[in-house]
Amino acid sequence: MSANPLGPLARKLMKGVIVVELLGVFGAYALFHKMNNSQEFRNTMNNKFPSVLEVYYQSNEWAGVYGIREQDHEAWSAKRD
């Protein structure tokens, strides 16, 4: 019987997929952590990537954390005046 030549290739591809997924998870966590701790960073995200900030607000609201969006809008409008 001959050895299966796709075995090592499939294993390498699977390892690569797992590494990419882990990098994505850790990157998403790092982004969430930075947005969670810095109102100024959320303002930057609001200016550059408002859809990402909206996902942040919605995920907090789904988790039962309310008022962050309102606090941000109050602080940002006070800075403009």
Give per-residue pLDDT as tens, 60-81. 999 999 999 999 999 999 987 6
pLDDT digits (tens, 9 = 90+) for 1-13: 556 667 888 899 9
Residue 39 confidence (pLDDT): 95
Helix (H) or strand (E) holding 71: helix 68-80
Q: Supply 78's token pair.
A: 């006070």
The answer for 56, left when phi > 0, alpha when psi is -120 to 50, beta otherwise, is alpha
